[in-house]
Structure 1
Amino acid sequence: MAANVPAPQRPTHVPVEWVDRDRSLLDFHARVLHWAQRDDVPLLERVRYLAIVAGNLDEFFEVRAALYVRLCEPQAALDAIEPAAQAALSAAAHRLVEEQYAVYHDRIVPALEQAGIHIIPHRKRSAAQKRWVKAYFDREVRPLLLPIGLDPAHPFPQVASRSLNFIVRLAGKDAFGRVNEVAILKVPKNLPRIVRLPKSLGGKRILAVTISSVIRAHLPELFTGRTVVEFAQFRVTRHSDLSIDEADARNLRTALRQGLEHRNYGQSVRLEVSADCSPFLLQGLLRQFALPASALYPIRGPLNLVWMHELIALVQQPRWLFPHYEPTFPRGLLGHASIFERLRAGDVLLHHPFESFDGVLAFLREAVSDPDVLVIKQTIYRTGTDSALMELLRQAVQRGKEVTVVVEIKARFDEEANLHWAEQLESIGALVVYGVVGLKTHAKMLLVSRRESRGIRRYAHLSTGNYNPRTAAGYTDLGYLTSRPDVTADVENVFALLSNQSRIPKLNKLILAPFSLQRYLLEWIDRTAQAALSGRAARIIVKVNALTDEKLMDALVRAGQAGVGIDLLVRGACMLPAQIPGKTDRIRVRSIVGRFLEHSRIFSFLAGEEEVLLLSSADWMNRNMLRRVELAWPIDDPALRERIRQECLQYYLDDRADAWDLQGDGRYVPVQASAPDAEGAQAKLMATYRAT
């Protein structure tokens, strides 16, 4: 009989202080802004990154800032967030906005002008240019404008979140002999934010004017008989995260529609104003929106740089864009007349955007046209307003197939599009399910049931990303096609759970949140720690968009202190500090910001002789583990496992062009290129797939 071997002793756990989640998120936006400053990035792509940061900040304030602003109100409970944390986050947000506009003025505008693209303010326009702008204003703009003079009968109008507005101070009396000195002018959202001047006025140069400068130049014309003393542009951002009591809502769809009607008029959280706004107008705006001084963002330049997306479309010069990349058709599907036949021979991995989303559409298209396909089931989280995939589902219904669609109508900022598609499908006979009360359905599944000679056979597609052809061209994601009975039976059972909420049998392969995913991951992290303590090989590599779940982070810290080598590829917010001596020195956190948005989720665990590699729809956040329906599934095929390790993990760990490493002091530092022509992971993948 073998002697009893004492279990390896765990080292004393040294606790760590987590990084603030929102501060980490702002750091990610700063890394994106860095791309607007890179000389090796084409000019209009740099403009695009600047606009992306502006949009990211809008969403940050709409979703994350409300609690911080409430703390500044006298009646607020001050124990929700420490005042120091509130002040630090506010300071970081202000610094980022200042840096954003410094990049605009000091880097982007000079580079545009050097390329012959000029955004001309009123004071620099020639007489001929002013005449053209005046004619444009009279013809296209003025008929849409209606200033509101403020008085007891005309209170401050409702101002929608992120809308552009002017506040104007007037001298003199109105038509009724009264002194109402303040007026508000809303800029209609259907006006373009930038307008190109005719070639006859610019020669070889591309000349453009912002709509705000057009209106600003002609403000006095809107106030006949009054004198414009001073004015400023302003823009308010409001809390826009819908809050619906699902347990109390008799009809979730109706409740959501009502919430959407009021989304743009929620609590004010940020006020952007022209930097030259007078104290009189400024204080009036702060009072109107009940905001503290910390929520004020004086802007030196045009408000809302999101409009620069329009500049890219207006210029339309390919030489200032990234070279066009044409994704290849998925190589695992090439040479096969039938995808069903191919899947009976083995699983197929799809790597987007290097391989096109056409493989997914081809799978669904074959299912729609095949008379032996009886049932199609799919989850929808974000699919967009114009979706070829949704049109295929409509065709499936019209061809007499049973179509079940689980639509997550609470997908933030995609609620309207998802409601539209749900109602469209429901109106023609599809079975539409709205998920589970209290949870978001974030799992990405497509299941096809087909009558074959040996009975019904199922085929499934699982994905780390959304069923959205547009974002599939710009997000890195992995799709998995299979006809394995153990996997497809699990998918069938998950659909049954979502439609009737009955208990499901033990799953064969899929790991499902909120039931077992967090526990499963904790068990594997513990296995690696045990392996390291006993002197066996131990390694963890995780690729996610965000890492904020405290239980998982604590387990990773313990595993690292037990001797496990841990690499975390975290695109955005990461609350786990890395490289702290004696605490997290065996944990490396890396963020990749590139041409495409990193979006795939991959979990790799090695514990001695045991090893598992999982793909998943879930980030390592508490909401994904406990408040969403999420899937993870193992990849068992050795060739596919090796391909994922190489393309999705090792290439990124070797990246010396687009990678940032998290330091012990909380800073992200760009990885130094090992050579002047160092290639990033995404560039390497594009080159690899071009060659196939």
Structure 2
Amino acid sequence: MSPPVAPGTPSAPHTGPDLAPLDAGLYSDGTRQDPIRDPALYFNRELSQLDFNFRVLAQAQDDKVPLLERLRYLCISCTNLDEFFEIRAGTLRHAQDLGLVPGADGLSPATVLSRIHDRAAELVEAQYHCWNDVLRPRLNEAGVRVLGRDSWNPAQTEWLRTYFRDEIMPVLSPLGLDPAHPFPKILNKSLNIVVVLHGRDAFGRSGNLAIVRAPRSLPRIIPIPEEISGGPHDFVFLSAVLSTFVDELFPGMEVKGAYQFRVTRNSELLVDEEEVDNIALALRDELVGRGYLRAVRLEIAEQCPDAIVRTLLENFDLGENAVYRINGPVNLNRVIQVYDLVQRADLKFPPFQPRQLKGSDAMFETVAKGDVLLHHPFDGFAPVVDMLRQAAEDPHVLAIKQTLYRSGKDSQIVEALIQAARNGKDVTVVVELRARFDEEANLGFADRLQEAGVQVVYGVVGYKTHAKMLLVVRREGSRLRRYVHLGTGNYHAGTARAYTDLGLFTADPDIGDDVHLIFQQLSGLAPQLGLKRMLQAPFTLHAGVLQRIDRETALARDGRPGRIVAKMNALNEPRVIRALYRASQAGVEIDLIVRGACTLRPGVAGISENIRVRSIVGRFLEHSRIYWFGNDGRPEIFCASADWLERNLLRRVETCFPLLDPDVAERAHDEALSNYLDDNLNAWMLKEDGRYERVPEESVPHSAQASLLAKLCG
């Protein structure tokens, strides 16, 4: 077994093209073209995204992180890998079928899929090493035991046998495979056991193979009562119980082997919006079959015989490069339930109380006095809900307009919008039904909003509405005044405690006019807008970013300082990257804080030696998008809902808004940019060869997130 990725150990290089010398304006293949278009200057987006999970896994391997939090990071890396296969790998297979041409990196879909398998196999091996050899023993020492079959004592075994008979067996429907019982449909990411049988059943049928599917209703982690186990925190995986007692499902037959497996399927819904009359109805139809779309990965117990693996691959129409042999439970991410079930403050991050906004009981008066910046999760999310609730009850409020991409279960935002409509306000909500994995939830609350009299709009055909906007129209004396909230993250109270995001309250008339026009465009059939302050995708945001990068480039060529600092989740848009390369060649100093995928190659002599790319992985998921341009001593700073990805800049409805108040702009720069550039505890630097290396800890250690907790949360 190869060693896992450890804290401080660089992750393996991207498996993209080798970087050839770029002399005399040559491509790496020798043709004379613009050198910044050389495919060797671009990492592959999918492989870069996959590498992010090694940085997450490094948190699980870090002794400085509390033990149950390390378990949580392990589970996050597993869940991220699931989603990667469901979306990224699934989309690549579709691109391969369509024969799509390579992107800026020059790699074909088939090549990328092959490299994904190799890199993902390394990640899986590292994940199970972390679980089997590091976290599970450490948890056991701390009194939190996830017991394997070989460690059950007689009392535990008898209790689990009874539990199996009483709670599990009644809901199972084992299926023997024969001509009358073809291979069953297997739900995406569901737990299954393939059983090898010998003997004959009551009808005289010879046993061979059977499939036992574990319904979603069964808990994947089973707590053992303390009076049985002797410990307060003892658990077993459902998969271990099924494998141990599966023989009881086949009386009179001999079980020769039982092997757990799980299949991952493409989960990207493809609704041809031009061909449907009602996108909501079409999406409901698609959701019914989502769990049975094309298979992209098979996880199987490592000791499963090759013949059975081949049978499964044949049934799922998969090749050898789609199988992953697992040394442990195939659904390892389900151990996250232990984190929730064990209340041990000594094994978790210390709790914190977000800072509350002064004046939140009178939001309109507070915002009327000046712009207000919220930096989540260090600042509480409550003021956003407070503004909506106050708007719902305020007799002077005439209209409320909002976008909703993700809002969470039992959302207070949705309840406030419903109450506002019931109180006679004109309420319009743009609901993005295609928010990945939240489609069903969004359909549900869209129905509730409509039932309450809210005008619900499903965005624009062909473009996801990813913008985060709230507009309240209020009569104040003889005039109407617009109050606005704009954010980098979703209107979701749960993620506001787990993600870093920035939100702005403002009553600036120009921004109010811009937001009003964007809502008109989304709900009507308005033409392209001439906005006063904001940038909007897919119209002006891409060009606006390029124009500002080019301005810094021109300043540097004139001998004046050029400077760009930007923070985002991902970067892959080729024209933006080429503009950054040109800026670097001109002498612009560029710092990019990119959490996940980054296809720009930094540090290349003559191309990108003035570009530095870092990734921060800490307690909270970095999610804020903020762009700062030096502008010859008159800096411009923007927050946005958009990353510098092709899809965000060119194929989505996004908003990018300036921070006009000098104090607000300075605070955002200091907290969300400078503070992160100083981080030497949770920062990783992207090297020229594609490796990420931890930033060395200095004599004065600094964590950007910890400093904000101390500063803002007390």
Normalising by the smaller structure, the TM-score range is over 0.9
Mapped to 2, the partners of 1:622 and 1:78 lie a distance apart of: 16
- 479-488 vs 82-91, greater mean Cα deviation: 82-91
Mapped to 2, the partners of 1:76 and 1:344 lie a distance apart of: 54
RMSD: 1.6
- 601-610 vs 440-449, greater mean Cα deviation: 601-610
Matches for 1:539-618 after TM superposition, within 5 Å: 539-618=563-642
SS of the residue corresponding to residue 618 of structure 1 reads: coil
Matches for 1:378-457 after TM superposition, within 5 Å: 378-457=402-481
Correspondence 1:341 to 2:341: no
SS of the residue corresponding to residue 312 of structure 2 reads: helix
Residue 140 of structure 1, aligned match among 162, 167, 177 = 167
Where do 5+ consecutive residues of structure 2 fail to align?
A: 1-23, 26-33, 103-107
Correspondence 1:124 to 2:148: no
Correspondence 1:304 to 2:328: no
Mapped to 2, the partners of 1:84 and 1:65 lie a distance apart of: 12
Correspondence 1:686 to 2:709: yes
- State the identity as a percent: 46
Is contact 1:536–1:607 with CA below 8 Å preserved after alignment? no
Where do 5+ consecutive residues of structure 1 fail to align?
A: 1-10
SS of the residue corresponding to residue 166 of structure 1 reads: strand
Compared CA separation, residues 437 and 71, structure 1 to 2 (3 A) = closer
Correspondence 1:470 to 2:497: no
Compared CA separation, residues 252 and 84, structure 1 to 2 (3 A) = closer
SS of the residue corresponding to residue 678 of structure 1 reads: coil
TM-superposed CA distance for 1:246, in Å, is 0.3
The aligned residue for residue 6 of structure 1 is none
The aligned residue for residue 134 of structure 2 is 107
TM-superposed CA distance for 1:71, in Å, is 8.8
TM-superposed CA distance for 1:85, in Å, is 3.6
SS of the residue corresponding to residue 218 of structure 1 reads: helix
The CA deviation string for residues 506-547 of structure 1, in whole angstroms up to 9 with x for no partner, is 111111110111001111110000000001121001100000
SS of the residue corresponding to residue 396 of structure 1 reads: helix
Matched AA of 2:253: R
TM-superposed CA distance for 1:293, in Å, is 0.6
TM-superposed CA distance for 1:671, in Å, is 0.4
Residue 537 of structure 2, aligned match among 513, 516, 522 = 513
Compared CA separation, residues 95 and 558, structure 1 to 2 (3 A) = same
- 498-507 vs 464-473, greater mean Cα deviation: 498-507
Mapped to 2, the partners of 1:77 and 1:651 lie a distance apart of: 45
Matched AA of 1:147: P
The aligned residue for residue 198 of structure 1 is 225
SS of the residue corresponding to residue 273 of structure 2 reads: coil
TM-superposed CA distance for 1:303, in Å, is 1.1
Residue 212 of structure 1, aligned match among 239, 250, 261 = 239
TM-superposed CA distance for 1:396, in Å, is 0.7
Mapped to 2, the partners of 1:665 and 1:271 lie a distance apart of: 31
Compared CA separation, residues 175 and 351, structure 1 to 2 (3 A) = same
Is contact 1:494–1:504 with CA below 8 Å preserved after alignment? no
The CA deviation string for residues 303-327 of structure 1, in whole angstroms up to 9 with x for no partner, is 1111111111222212111000110
Mapped to 1, the partners of 2:330 and 2:359 lie a distance apart of: 52
Correspondence 1:176 to 2:200: no
Is contact 1:656–1:680 with CA below 8 Å preserved after alignment? yes
Is contact 1:560–1:586 with CA below 8 Å preserved after alignment? yes
SS of the residue corresponding to residue 373 of structure 2 reads: strand
TM-superposed CA distance for 1:689, in Å, is 0.6
The CA deviation string for residues 199-233 of structure 1, in whole angstroms up to 9 with x for no partner, is 12333453211111111111111001211122210
Matched AA of 2:671: E
The aligned residue for residue 20 of structure 2 is none
Matched AA of 1:635: L
Is contact 1:272–1:296 with CA below 8 Å preserved after alignment? yes
TM-score with structure 1 length normalisation?
0.95
Correspondence 1:277 to 2:304: yes
Mapped to 2, the partners of 1:82 and 1:287 lie a distance apart of: 22
- 313-322 vs 529-538, greater mean Cα deviation: 313-322
Is contact 2:155–2:229 with CA below 8 Å preserved after alignment? no
TM-superposed CA distance for 1:31, in Å, is 0.3
Mapped to 1, the partners of 2:542 and 2:100 lie a distance apart of: 32
Matched AA of 2:585: Q
SS of the residue corresponding to residue 569 of structure 1 reads: strand
Is contact 2:221–2:334 with CA below 8 Å preserved after alignment? yes
The aligned residue for residue 685 of structure 2 is 661
SS of the residue corresponding to residue 473 of structure 1 reads: helix
Matched AA of 1:233: Q
SS of the residue corresponding to residue 501 of structure 2 reads: strand
TM-superposed CA distance for 1:648, in Å, is 0.4
TM-superposed CA distance for 1:452, in Å, is 1.3
The aligned residue for residue 164 of structure 1 is 191
TM-superposed CA distance for 1:505, in Å, is 4.3
Residue 479 of structure 1, aligned match among 491, 503, 525 = 503
TM-superposed CA distance for 1:14, in Å, is 3.8
Is contact 1:435–1:498 with CA below 8 Å preserved after alignment? yes
TM-superposed CA distance for 1:690, in Å, is 2.6
Compared CA separation, residues 279 and 384, structure 1 to 2 (3 A) = same
The aligned residue for residue 361 of structure 1 is 385
Is contact 2:91–2:266 with CA below 8 Å preserved after alignment? no
Mapped to 1, the partners of 2:255 and 2:95 lie a distance apart of: 37
Mapped to 2, the partners of 1:350 and 1:185 lie a distance apart of: 50
Mapped to 2, the partners of 1:204 and 1:60 lie a distance apart of: 37
SS of the residue corresponding to residue 427 of structure 2 reads: strand
Matched AA of 2:563: R
The aligned residue for residue 340 of structure 2 is 313
Mapped to 1, the partners of 2:645 and 2:484 lie a distance apart of: 26
The aligned residue for residue 9 of structure 2 is none
Mapped to 1, the partners of 2:111 and 2:651 lie a distance apart of: 30
Residue 262 of structure 2, aligned match among 227, 235, 246 = 235
The CA deviation string for residues 240-273 of structure 1, in whole angstroms up to 9 with x for no partner, is 0000100001110000001111111010000000
Is contact 2:93–2:109 with CA below 8 Å preserved after alignment? no
Is contact 2:90–2:268 with CA below 8 Å preserved after alignment? no
Mapped to 1, the partners of 2:361 and 2:193 lie a distance apart of: 61
- 189-198 vs 287-296, greater mean Cα deviation: 189-198
Compared CA separation, residues 136 and 664, structure 1 to 2 (3 A) = same
Matched AA of 2:511: V
The aligned residue for residue 290 of structure 2 is 263
Mapped to 2, the partners of 1:239 and 1:225 lie a distance apart of: 39
Matched AA of 1:391: E
Compared CA separation, residues 77 and 616, structure 1 to 2 (3 A) = closer
TM-superposed CA distance for 1:363, in Å, is 1.2
Mapped to 1, the partners of 2:622 and 2:109 lie a distance apart of: 33
Residue 394 of structure 2, aligned match among 370, 375, 382 = 370
TM-superposed CA distance for 1:169, in Å, is 1.5
- 553-562 vs 448-457, greater mean Cα deviation: 448-457
Matched pairs, number = 675
The CA deviation string for residues 269-310 of structure 1, in whole angstroms up to 9 with x for no partner, is 000000010112111101110111110000001111111111
SS of the residue corresponding to residue 512 of structure 1 reads: strand
SS of the residue corresponding to residue 494 of structure 2 reads: helix
Mapped to 1, the partners of 2:203 and 2:529 lie a distance apart of: 77
Mapped to 2, the partners of 1:278 and 1:29 lie a distance apart of: 30
Is contact 1:118–1:205 with CA below 8 Å preserved after alignment? no
Mapped to 2, the partners of 1:449 and 1:82 lie a distance apart of: 49
Mapped to 1, the partners of 2:443 and 2:114 lie a distance apart of: 39
Mapped to 2, the partners of 1:322 and 1:514 lie a distance apart of: 40
SS of the residue corresponding to residue 583 of structure 1 reads: coil
